[in-house]
Amino acid sequence: MDIQIGDILKLKKQHPCGSSQWEVLRVGMDFRLKCLGCGHQIMIPRKQAEKYIRQITRKEPQE
């Protein structure tokens, strides 16, 4: 999967705050994701994150 910093991921499981959308802050063996509902940040292994992804929304490039 081609996931880049700044992309918005919609995951299968919701965060306890009710949001299922996460912003990608770091990519590598682990992803650092930020909940768009409450701002909580998590580190999650790449394999687990790719399993939970439903939709990827690309961030629009700034001009």
CA dist list (Å): 60 to 25, 36, 55, 57: 15, 17, 16, 9
Give the HSE-up count for residue 29: Cα atoms under 13 Å, Cβ half-sphere: 0
Residue type, 36: L
Burial class (CB in 10 A: 0-12, 13-18, 19+), 19: middle
pLDDT digits (tens, 9 = 90+) for 2-61: 899 999 999 998 899 999 999 999 999 999 999 999 999 999 999 999 999 999 998 766
Is residue 2 a part of any domain in this protein? no
Question: Which residue spans within the chain are E strands per DSSP?
Answer: 8-11, 21-26, 30-35, 41-45, 53-57
What pLDDT is recorded for position 1?
A: 73
Q: Is 62 a member of any domain?
A: no
pLDDT score recorded for residue 2: 85
On whether residue 25 sits in a domain, the answer given is yes
pLDDT number for residue 61: 61
For position 39, what pLDDT does the model report? Answer: 94
1, part of any domain:
no
Residue 50 belongs to domain spanning: 8-57
63 has pLDDT over 60: no
pTM score: 0.84
